[in-house]
Amino acid sequence: MDSRKTDTALLLIRLILGLVFLAHGAQKVFGLFGGHGLQATVQFMTKSGMPVLIPYLVSFGELAAGIGFIFGFLTRIAAAGMFLEMLGGVFLIHWKNGFFMNWEGNQKGEGFEYTLTLCVICLALLISGAGAYSIDASMRRRALP
Amino acid sequence: MSSRYSNLALLVIRLAPGIVFFMHGAQKTLGWFGGHGLQGTVQGMTKMGMPQIVPYLVSLGELAAGLGLIVGLLTRIAAAGMFVEMLGAVLIVHLKSGFFAEHRGFEYPLTLCLVCFGILLMGPGAYSLDARMRRGRF
């Protein structure tokens, strides 16, 4: 396996994952891109029975992890956090709607396929780390004697 | 990155698009999981103005590529095919709906698209039928 190709692939995978979590985090925290903002997100998620800590963790976590993935900074921590969040998303939120997205409009809500996809990709990044094109790697290089 | 870790990561990341494409391919080709089956899929997609070859390629391609990605057989060909299909899905089907998946936007097909491109670059890793066959232990 050519390591330059692997590092490029890891960079691409980090970029799309980072874009997704940054966009959703910015919706939840700042109300950008048609999102509800932090107050409404907290209200909505506590109303559905979650402890008040969860919406804060989820909102800021998605924002921070998104930025972390893009720059490859604290990548494994970001991946672990988003892996857990997406695991929760699959089982607590989307499981009841089945596997598939609700793109034909005949389900009660979205199924878990996309959430599961993100969950599995985060697990892979948790195992692999960020690759060479990352702040993590450049910090490790500088730390070497 | 130790190579045992990277091979494990490759196995895990193959499973993400593998499961998704197998499920959608089985819907389109076999009518499983509440899908329309091949005839219904061909009708639906030609009605949208696509040439008749496209729904056959897409349906059988998703089924075959899904299985191929899961077991790591002809992995790069499967990844290349699904990369092209998802690029088409992003540009032709989902781009007009914006980014977010809840509005049928392109974030989900774009994620699959780039992960497939990543697998195309990296190959299947050691835990795959491709690697076993290359070692002649099949």
Tokens (6 digits) for A136: 């993590």
User: pLDDT for A70-106, tens place per residue?
Assistant: 999 999 999 999 999 999 999 999 999 999 999 888 8
Which chain A residues contact residue B107 at CB under 8 A?
A: 19-20, 23
Residue A5 sits at the chain B interface (C-beta within 8 Å): yes
Going by pLDDT thresholds of 50, 70 and 90, the confidence category of residue B12 is very high
Q: Which two tokens stand for residue B75?
A: 């992995």
Question: Does the predicted interface ipTM exceed a cut of 0.90?
Answer: yes
Q: Which residue has the higher pLDDT, B137 or A114?
A: A114
Nearest residue of B to residue A27, measured between CA atoms: B100
The span from the CA of B41 to the CA of A113, in Å, is 20
Partner-chain contact A8 B114, CB within 8 Å: no
Query: Scanning the structure block, which residue is given the tokens 């994952």?
Result: A17
State the pLDDT confidence band at B2, using cuts at 50, 70 and 90.
low
Contact call for B9 and A113, based on CB within 8 A: no
pLDDT reported for residue A1: 46
Residue A143 has pLDDT above 90, yes or no: no
The distance of Cα A139 from the centroid of its chain, to the nearest Å, equals 23
Query: For chain A, how many structural domains are there in total?
Result: 1
The model carries a pTM of 0.94
Of the pLDDT bands very low, low, confident and very high (cuts 50, 70, 90), residue A2 is low
Return left, alpha or beta for A73; rule: phi > 0 is left, psi -120 to 50 is alpha, else beta: beta
Q: Is the pLDDT of residue B137 over 90?
A: no
In this prediction, what percent of chain B has a pLDDT beyond 90?
A: 90
Structure tokens at B70: 């899961």
Q: How many domains does chain B have?
A: 1
Interface test with A, best of B15, B22, B115 (most A CBs within 10 A): B115
What are the tens digits of pLDDT across the range B15-37?
999 999 999 999 999 999 999 99
For A121, the closest of B13, B102, B117 (CB atoms) is B13
CA distance B63 to B36: 14
